[in-house]
Amino acid sequence: MTEGVGVWNRISVKNDCERASAGRESVAGTVFALIQSVKTLFLMHGAVCKFEPSCAIYAREAVRVLPLHAAAIKIIWRVLRCNPFSKGGFDPVVK
């Protein structure tokens, strides 16, 4: 009887991991869409991102690979650096 319980526990853990992964993907997609919307609303037509990858892609990747609190800090710092006085350049998400 205890073997059956172990199987159910493994199934439950697997489902929890799948739900957590789906939740992170949902947050990443929402952050990406939000940043894309802000860029569309506030940037002049023809403006390009100074950084590679763009801020929206950077934010999506940060949410995927970092804890949410660390991702939020990195995203805010990246957006604050996106200004006329910044050189820009290649700036990947670093763990």
Query: So where are the chain's domains?
Result: 2-90
| Confidence at residue 66, expressed as pLDDT on a 0 to 100 scale | 92
Q: What is the residue-averaged pLDDT of the chain?
A: 76
What lies within 8 Å, CB to CB, of 78 at 6+ separation is 51, 55, 58, 59, 91
| Confidence at residue 43, expressed as pLDDT on a 0 to 100 scale | 61
The listed range with the strongest mean pLDDT (27-31, 44-48, 55-59, 71-75) is 71-75
Q: How much is the average pLDDT of 9-25? A: 61
Work out the pLDDT band at 42, boundaries 50, 70, 90.
low
**64/27 Cα distance (integer angstroms):** 9
Q: Does 47 score more than 90 pLDDT?
A: no
H or E element at residue 17: helix 2-42
